[in-house]
Chains A and B, each alone.
Chain A
Amino acid sequence: MKYVTEYRDAGLAKTVAGAIVREADAGRQYHFMEFCGGHTHAIFRYGVQDLMPKNVHFVHGPGCPVCVLPVNRIDDAVELAERHGVILCSYGDMMRVPGTKQRSLIRAKADGADIRLVYSTLDALKIARENPDRQVVFFAIGFETTTPPSAVALKMAKAEGLANFTLFCNHVLTPPAIGHILESPEVRELGVVKIDGFLGPSHVSSVIGSDPYAWFAEEFRKPVVIAGFEPLDVMQSTLMLIRQVNEGRHEVENEYTRVVTRQGNLKAQTLVAEVFELRQSFEWRGLGTVPYSALRIREAFAEFDAEKRFALTPKQAREVKSCECPSILRGVKKPTDCKLFGTTCTPENPIGSCMVSSEGACAAYWTYGRFRDGQPRVAEAAE
């Protein structure tokens, strides 16, 4: 796989690891937040932590759209499928996320709701064309990466006059979430969460570019390095962050230059701006209400807005009280700090959202890294 395999090379990994060991100051601790679930996944799946010195720590951020979607929006989706009789199209990731009383899309499907797993918004449009007598709703989730494909779908639906298609918009924005974390009292005053720098989003940045992060670097005096999702990208970016910290710099640097430019994808940005506008506020699981952190469908496309077409009942979502997902999403706690982790909450029976998505911190810890806590043991294979 060109442009993939090279960035998983064990030899080069040793080279970069050697540089990190030499350049990291043994007398200090480095805490870097990887905002994206994609980075969390890469760190655990490839065992990147094993190649890092003990004083370099990764703090897992909230960049997993499945994890941050509030329970009441999941309940809304379940309601659309169950009570409004629509064909609900969803990305696979959302299927097992528990809503109120642990009710998920997959359970609603088992009970007879018409829920279809799709890989692309194009598949949802196709289903709408093939079922002209049914209402077809696309359950849109995701950050700036996944938003442009939703914008394309809405434009196509409008151009075709696909009257039975609507989109349930839950698209959220990355920069306001990073800002929210940096402004939170735990980071600013209490010092509960130590963050010396950020591994910046990969594919989000391919769309929005590297410029939007300049403000954080400036305002919060924290270095940001935009990092690809392959394990070598994570390591090289960590090295770049260590260098910035050592030199007292706080700049936006870009390691993922093969797809990220300063301006990003202007065509995609224009499309998104044409179809979507900012919501004044949106609730994030874990972060609470974050101003101007999400998108809604513009008036010009109102006829394709599921929230306008269907009268959704207001929800009083109930989170499981002992679930620590909110603190984990802010980097305040680690999965192993949660009483439910690995006991009542496992990937087979997820209680909180961080255990559902394989990019959630809890699922990554459990699925790939649970030998790390307790007695550390490394897989000494027959070498």
Chain B
Amino acid sequence: MCLALPARVVELHDDAMATVSLEGVRKRISLALVDDIVIGDFVLIHVGYALHKVSPDEAERTLAMMAEAGVLAGEIEEMAS
């Protein structure tokens, strides 16, 4: 379930609506489920609603963790050999 995609907020409208953009594809979505969204934020879009703000810091941290997984394993291998 639950197809959802991160997209960037490019315009804020009345009635808690906003326009988001994903590779130039623009869609009007509702911000009724989130607070304190500003232009430039990335939000997770599901069935026309922003479900949650995406944290850029955490996104980076996760990628770093993935990269480290290999380094760590590599070091272990080195130690073993």
List residues of A whose CB falls within 8 A of some B CB: 1-4, 6-7, 12, 14-16, 18-19, 22-23, 36-38, 63-66, 91, 119-123, 142-143, 145-146, 148-149, 152, 201-204, 206-207, 228-229, 232-233, 236, 239, 255-260, 265, 267-268, 271, 359
Contact = CB atoms under 8 A, between A and B. Distances in A.
**What secondary structure prevails in chain A residues at the interface with B?**
helix
Nearest to A68: B1
B73 A19 contact: yes
Contacts of A359: 1
A272 B64 CA distance: 35
Nearest to A265: B52
Given A22-B77, A259-B54, A265-B33, A149 B49 contact: yes
A15 B66 contact: yes
A152 B47 contact: no
Interface in B48-71: 48-49, 51-56, 58-59, 61-63, 65-67, 69-70
16 contacts: A3-B42, A4-B5, A14-B70, A142-B2, A145-B2, A149-B33, A204-B1, A228-B62, A257-B55, A257-B62, A258-B59, A258-B62, A259-B6, A265-B34, A265-B51, A359-B1
Contacts of A152: 30, 32-33, 49
Contacts, number: 145
B15 to A, nearest CB: 10
B14 interface: no
Contacts of A268: 33, 51
Contacts of B63: 6-7, 12
A145 B46 contact: yes
Nearest to B53: A259
**Which 6 residue pairs of A and B lie closest in terms of their CB atoms, listed nearest first?**
A120-B48, A15-B70, A203-B2, A145-B2, A19-B73, A3-B6
Contacts of A258: 54-56, 58-59, 62
Contacts of A145: 1-2, 4, 46, 51
A203 B4 contact: yes
Contacts of B77: 22
B26 to A, nearest CB: 14
B66 A236 contact: yes
A322 B36 CA distance: 52
A1 B22 contact: yes
A206 B48 contact: no
Contacts of B65: 236
Contacts of B72: 19
A206 B62 contact: no
Contacts of B74: 18
A2 B6 contact: yes
Contacts of A149: 30, 33, 46-49
Contacts of A66: 1
B6 A4 contact: yes
A206 B44 contact: yes
Given A2-B8, A16-B69, A23-B73, A143 B33 contact: no
A236 B1 contact: no
B1 to A, nearest CB: 5
A359 B2 CA distance: 10
Contacts of A22: 73, 76-77
Contacts of A146: 1-2, 46-47
A257 B72 CA distance: 21
A6 B55 CA distance: 15
